[in-house]
Amino acid sequence: MACINTNSREYQWLKRATGTPEFLLNAISSSYMEKYNRFPYVDEIPNASTEKFLRKELGLESKNSTTIDKLLEYTDTQTPEDAMVKLNDMHRDLLVKVLPLRETALVLIEKKPTSLPMDSSETIEQNASNNFVVLGDILTKLSDYLDVQIIPVDNETIMSDENLNGLVDATSAKAFVYNGDIYLNLDNASIDSPLHEMLHLVFGSMKYTNPELYVQTVE
């Protein structure tokens, strides 16, 4: 997988705007960096929606109007017309219309319909990404329930960390458990890697809390 800069402004914006779990966003971003040398657009992240984020940023949670100043500040533009163009470029999953008044503007937001790509290879790739998101939803719920973090790393990060660097086979593993957290190695990981490590924790807990169920499940 391609290396990505998770501290970049673009990555951080995608993370906040879409609410996509970090390890999923890393995997998708790595794929786009490797294939297109860019981060994915918001409408290329499966099941992502930026509407809630946009409404919060513009103060549109309970109304459809905002101030011109707030609109221009968010989009870093000079006119409401330019702001509308910028909004539709930033939030590609949405159709945004701006109707300027005097000091305020009406902002009408619609969710764009999802269209499947015509090329069969792109369809397969999209289906794989959708599966990744479904898996991510499951893992997020399990992580919250078990109070376990899923931490994305790459071989460079592992080699520079004195604790992780001392682990056997850390750079060749797809994922591993350290101090009760799951580390997902983006250089090697496949779609099922986090789930595989999560099951180690689940079965380890089951072995001590419910030995009978553990034996029955293993059998």
Can you give the pLDDT at residue 175?
Answer: 78
Classify residue 37 by its DSSP letter. Answer: S
Classify residue 43 by its DSSP letter. Answer: G
d(CA 39, CA 4): 9
d(CA 107, CA 213): 55
Q: Are residues 19 and 88 in the same domain?
A: yes
Q: What share of the chain is helix, strand, coil (3-state, %, to 5)?
A: 55, 15, 30
Q: What percent of the chain has pLDDT over 70?
A: 71
Domain presence at residue 157: yes
Phi, psi angle pair for 112, to nearest 5° = -70, 140
Q: Are residues 15 and 84 in the same domain?
A: yes
Instruction: Give the containing element (helix H, strand E) for 66.
Output: strand 65-67
Domain presence at residue 208: yes
Can you give the pLDDT at residue 176?
Answer: 81
Count how many domains the chain has: 2
d(CA 108, CA 51): 11
For 93-147, how does the pLDDT look when each residue is reduced to its tens digit (9 = 90+)? 999 999 998 899 999 999 987 544 444 444 434 544 555 555 556 666 666 666 7
Instruction: Give the containing element (helix H, strand E) for 72.
Output: helix 68-75
Q: Are residues 107 and 147 in the same domain?
A: no
Q: Are residues 152 and 81 in the same domain?
A: no
40 to 27, 141, 206: CA distances (angstroms): 11, 25, 39
Q: Which residues pair with 205 in a beta bridge?
A: none
Domain presence at residue 36: yes
d(CA 155, CA 213): 37
Most confident segment among 128-137, 176-185, 208-217: 176-185
Q: Are residues 19 and 105 in the same domain?
A: yes
Q: Are residues 153 and 103 in the same domain?
A: no
Place of tokens 């409401």: 80
Can you give the pLDDT at residue 104?
Answer: 94
> Would you say residue 159 has pLDDT above 80?
yes
Q: Are residues 100 and 149 in the same domain?
A: no
Domain presence at residue 117: no
Domain presence at residue 129: no
d(CA 122, CA 128): 10
Domain presence at residue 94: yes
Q: For the whole prediction, is pTM greater than 0.85?
A: no
Q: Are residues 105 and 158 in the same domain?
A: no
Any long-range contacts for 18-22 (C-beta under 8 Å, 24+ apart)?
A: 18/42, 18/45, 18/48, 18/49, 18/50, 18/53, 19/48, 19/49, 19/52, 19/53, 20/45, 20/48, 20/136, 21/136, 21/139, 21/140, 21/150, 22/150, 22/152
Domain extent at residue 82: 9-111
Provide mean pLDDT across the span 170-178.
80
Q: Are residues 85 and 159 in the same domain?
A: no
Can you give the pLDDT at residue 117?
Answer: 46
> Would you say residue 51 has pLDDT above 80?
yes
Q: Are residues 151 and 103 in the same domain?
A: no
**In the structure, what pLDDT confidence band is assigned to residue 77 with cuts at 50, 70 and 90?**
very high
Q: Please state, rounded to an integer, the average pLDDT across all residues of the chain.
A: 79
Domain presence at residue 198: yes
